[in-house]
Amino acid sequence: MKTTGLFSALVLTTAWLHAWSSATAQEVRIYNTVKSKLIAGQQVVGGTVDTADPEIYCAMANAGFDFIWIEMQHSPLSFSEAARMIWACRDAPAIPFVRVPDASEGTIQKATDIGALGIIVPMVDSAEKMADAVRYAKYPPQGRRSQGGGQYGRLWGRDYRQTWNDNVLIIAMIETLEGTAEADKIASVAGVDGVFVASGDLGSFSGKRQGEQDYESLVARIKEETENAGKFLGGPSAWMSEREGYQFFQAPSTSSLIRIGARITLEAADPCRFLPSGATPVDGENPCP
């Protein structure tokens, strides 16, 4: 009888703890709006910023993007400059993500301390690299991120330490043939939320171009392995309307958008500006002088 009673009490206690854990998990505050949108099945687009000007960052962060892709792999941006930009536009609807220059512990620590809610890891060739990135990005018991200084608490709330592991979004970029071959293992790493197909570098490393069978086979393999692992799939914004199954997109850089915007503005003012003499901007209208 005593054994039976003890067993029953143990079962009830275990059930209560499970219910308590589930309820607690459901109560975690989610402030990473990109993660919420992805979970809801929506597509998200990030504008790329590679300049240290806070005004440009704020213009991008308020332009309608879901997040800002702060480019630190291919830019001279420092973490101090990135921190000032994030703070200058802390109330903007687009939230900060950082493509880190490398996946070292110190680099990921700095990116998270300045307030980034997303970590984009470039040049991923192995599952081990992403397992390390996850460990560096998350607090114990899921990782080994240190509690240091930074503006993250002022940005995201006093419960940041308790809610961080549920809010961070960790993306692996596959850019090489080696990474493509390991796509299944990379996508399956616990804590990795998504895989980004780096279209340009995939072509550079493979020597193939979009539309060619070998190139498309590489893309298809990454896509299939990512979907099999139940992770989000990312790519350039040009793929948003061209390819199915993608949710996470990188838009052009600020310099590209300025160039595109200037051309659109000039064409609107003068439809003949970029057309040769004698051409007709609209059927039925007089030709350009």
- Catalogue the active-site residues: 74
Report the alpha-carbon angle 232-236-239, nearest 5.
85
Distance CA 29, CA 273 (A): 52
Which residues fall within 8 angstroms of residue 228, CB to CB, at 6 or more apart?
Answer: 184, 187
Nearest to 66 by CA among 29, 111, 35: 35
Query: Rounded to whole angstroms, how far apart are CA atoms 233 and 224?
Result: 10
Hey, what are 231's tokens? 């992770």
Say how far apart CA 260 and CA 202 lie, in whole Å.
Answer: 25
Q: Which positions ≥6 away from 267 have C-beta within 8 Å?
A: 273, 274
Give the separation between CA 140 and CA 152, rounded to whole angstroms: 17
What is the tally of helices (H) and strands (E) in the chain? 13, 8
Sign of the CA dihedral 130, 136, 139, 140? positive
C-alpha closest to that of 47 among 107, 91, 101, 92 = 92
Helix axes 105-113, 127-137, angle to 10 degrees: 40
Unique residue bearing structure tokens 């079962």? 11
Handedness of CA 199, 205, 206, 207 (dihedral sign): positive
One-letter amino acid for residue 104 of the chain = S
